[in-house]
Amino acid sequence: MIVQGKIVDIQNQRIFKGEVAVKNGKIIAIKEANHAVEKYILPGFVDAHIHIESSMLVPSEFAKIAVLHGTVATVSDPHEIANVLGVKGVDFMIENGEKVPLKFNFGAPSCVPATSFESAGAIIDSDDIQKMMANPAIKYLAEMMNYPGVLFDDEEVLKKIAWAKQYGKPIDGHAPGLRGDDVSKYIAAGISTDHECFTYDEALEKLQKGMKVIIREGSAAKNFEALIDLLPQHFEEMMFCSDDKHPDDFLLGHINQLCERAVAKGMDVFKVLQVACVNPVKHYKLDVGLLQVGDAADFIVVEDLEKFKVQQTYINGELVAENGQSFVKSVAFEVLNNFHTETKVVSDFEFPSTAKKIRVIEAKDGELVTDEIEAESLIKEGSLVSNIQNDVLKMTVVNRYKNAPPSIAFIKNFGIKEGAIASSVGHDSHNIIAVGVSDEAICRAVNLLIENSGGVCAVSASEEKVVPLPVAGIMSDKSGEEIGKEYAELDAMAKQMGSKLRAPYMSLSFMALLVIPSLKLSDKGLFDGTTFQFTSLEIV
């Protein structure tokens, strides 16, 4: 097979008219050739950190969409399904991903459960990590979110890190806002990357101390604008990732969008493509070709080097997408889940109180971090209720793995004026999380998910809409096109109900993520992410 075009040689920073010869899945020759073909040939894009589960698609369905955007490989942390199903869930992701051409590179989840302050469906300890590190299909130790465990020399945390080192596999980081001596110790432990930087200065410090910084632009967390100006000087030590990409966003684009935005800012295209294509392959030692003789024939053909509109995607020499059509086929798989709670009653969501003030989670659009603020209580019939006028709404997290009383908090900036929204995608333990204007609406939304064994939903006075997620309560068994359409309709309904957030369900899913400061809610109670301990809803 011969593919002609303008060849983008990233390593030597040159572009020339030529052709790529492929045989048995490998590039056997690249040579200059005079022809009239104006399209560009370049290495495929690599997402340097993603939770496939957040697309609500199993890996094989994710691959069908990814190749349309020129993505040939991912560095994937199966942390979400691991928190539901443990090692069995990780095995499911690997086995399903191996049935399609896309090159998934899965890590061993380092924090299952993410903390001891929430109820998860499984535990992965250091003995499990040892076994996983011995598996060639496991490429790295996934994000070490328990940075306090690293800083305070937690024995179990250090054992996990030690196993990764023994098997010579990279260790991913997760340390939002960590600075100074603390981040120096974190890096010294062997942790090599961070995708959680949300300020220029934080990212610069980590780069200067030897860490690789991954610029994240997902559906909720968007750090591209804050960090992109570091790329021209630090392009050899940076990568792109989406981290969490919801299905409607994923249908629109992937890493190709970040390349377009960076080039539009006037950045050197070779530096941008090194970040998007080359650096992840070299850092994680991936079996992914970089458009060189002898490499696997993993490359893409794009219309230009401005918009990066993908015309063709090749993986191991196989044409897997062309002009908006994916040739990746759906595969059969067993649906696994872990959902064992029973339906609730309205009184379960009441919070008797006489407090005049309460602590409130302040959500930030496009950020995983939250603030802690105070608000005047609104009490009716002796119980705290949502204050719709001030946009201080009741929130709950319900244990999905067993029957237990729901935890209650209040949150600002969701903006809902009627009904409730709920999701069983609740990072990291994936309990049910809901926000609503009344206890009745919250109860309806929560029960709708329990009846479906997981999903995302919205309920109003006149309508109920649910997108079931039967695979571990976090992924669909449908195609990307189907789930993308259904999710977009649900997103629109939440916004019709008053939410002003760009991605209300993605934002909702992170309000139980305890490892990101500052105030969050687990199924066990309101949690202060700065002191790493529970705190009270009522201010006495």
What is the mean predicted confidence (pLDDT) over 294-308? Answer: 98
The answer to whether residues 407 and 117 touch, using CB atoms and an 8 Å cutoff, is no
Phi, psi of 3 (to 5 degrees): -120, 125
What is the mean predicted confidence (pLDDT) over 115-129? Answer: 96
Residue type, 497: M
Give percent of the chain with pLDDT exceeding 90. Answer: 95
What is the mean predicted confidence (pLDDT) over 60-77? Answer: 98
What is the mean predicted confidence (pLDDT) over 323-335? Answer: 96
Q: For residues 419 and 508, what is the distance between their CA atoms, to the nearest angstrom?
A: 15
Residue 219 confidence (pLDDT) above 90: no
What is the mean predicted confidence (pLDDT) over 195-221? Answer: 95
Residue 29 CB partners (closer than 8 Å, separation 6+): 20, 21, 293
Nearest to 247, CA basis, from 389, 452, 64: 64
Residue 366 confidence (pLDDT) above 90: no
Residue 396 confidence (pLDDT) above 90: yes
Task: Give the pLDDT confidence score for residue 230 in this predicted structure.
Answer: 98
Count Cβ atoms below 10 Å from residue 485 Cβ, excluding itself.
16
What is the mean predicted confidence (pLDDT) over 491-503? Answer: 95
Q: What confidence category does residue 114 fall into, taking pLDDT thresholds of 50, 70 and 90? A: confident
State the pTM of this model. Answer: 0.94
Task: Give the pLDDT confidence score for residue 452 in this predicted structure.
Answer: 97
Residue 540 confidence (pLDDT) above 90: no
Residue 115 confidence (pLDDT) above 90: no
Q: Please state the three-class secondary structure of 320-355 as a single string.
A: EEECCEECCCCCCCCCCCCCCCCCCCHHHHCCECCC
The answer to whether residues 366 and 221 touch, using CB atoms and an 8 Å cutoff, is yes
Q: Please state the three-class secondary structure of 189-244 as a single string.
A: CCCCEECCCCCHHHHHHHHHCCCEEEEEECCCCECHHHHHHHHHHHHHHEEEECEC
Q: What confidence category does residue 125 fall into, taking pLDDT thresholds of 50, 70 and 90? A: very high
Residue 221 confidence (pLDDT) above 90: no
Q: Could you give the 3-state DSSP secondary structure of residue 519?
A: strand
Q: pLDDT per residue over 241-270, tens digit each?
A: 999 998 989 999 999 999 999 999 999 999
Q: What confidence category does residue 439 fall into, taking pLDDT thresholds of 50, 70 and 90? A: very high
What is the mean predicted confidence (pLDDT) over 361-371? Answer: 92
The answer to whether residues 235 and 252 touch, using CB atoms and an 8 Å cutoff, is no
Residue 367 confidence (pLDDT) above 90: no
Q: What letter does residue 406 receive in the DSSP assignment? A: P
Residue 64 confidence (pLDDT) above 90: yes
Q: For residues 206 and 197, what is the distance between their CA atoms, to the nearest angstrom?
A: 9
Residue 291 confidence (pLDDT) above 90: yes
Q: pLDDT per residue over 452-471, tens digit each?
A: 999 999 999 999 999 999 99
Domains of the chain, start order: 2-326 (3.20.20.140), 346-539 (no CATH)
Residue 181 confidence (pLDDT) above 90: yes
Q: What confidence category does residue 220 fall into, taking pLDDT thresholds of 50, 70 and 90? A: confident
Task: Give the pLDDT confidence score for residue 382 in this predicted structure.
Answer: 97
Average pLDDT value over all residues in the chain = 97
Q: Please write down the long-range contacts of 173-177, taking CB distance under 8 Å and 24 or more positions apart.
A: 173/143, 173/144, 173/147, 173/211, 174/143, 174/144, 174/145, 174/147, 174/515, 175/147, 176/368, 176/369, 176/516, 176/517, 177/202, 177/369, 177/517
Pairing status of strand 71-76 against strand 45-50: parallel
Task: Give the pLDDT confidence score for residue 4 in this predicted structure.
Answer: 97
Residue type, 187: I
Q: What letter does residue 69 receive in the DSSP assignment? A: G
Residue 515 confidence (pLDDT) above 90: no
Q: For residues 521 and 224, what is the distance between their CA atoms, to the nearest angstrom?
A: 27
Residue 380 confidence (pLDDT) above 90: yes
Q: For residues 97 and 107, what is the distance between their CA atoms, to the nearest angstrom?
A: 13
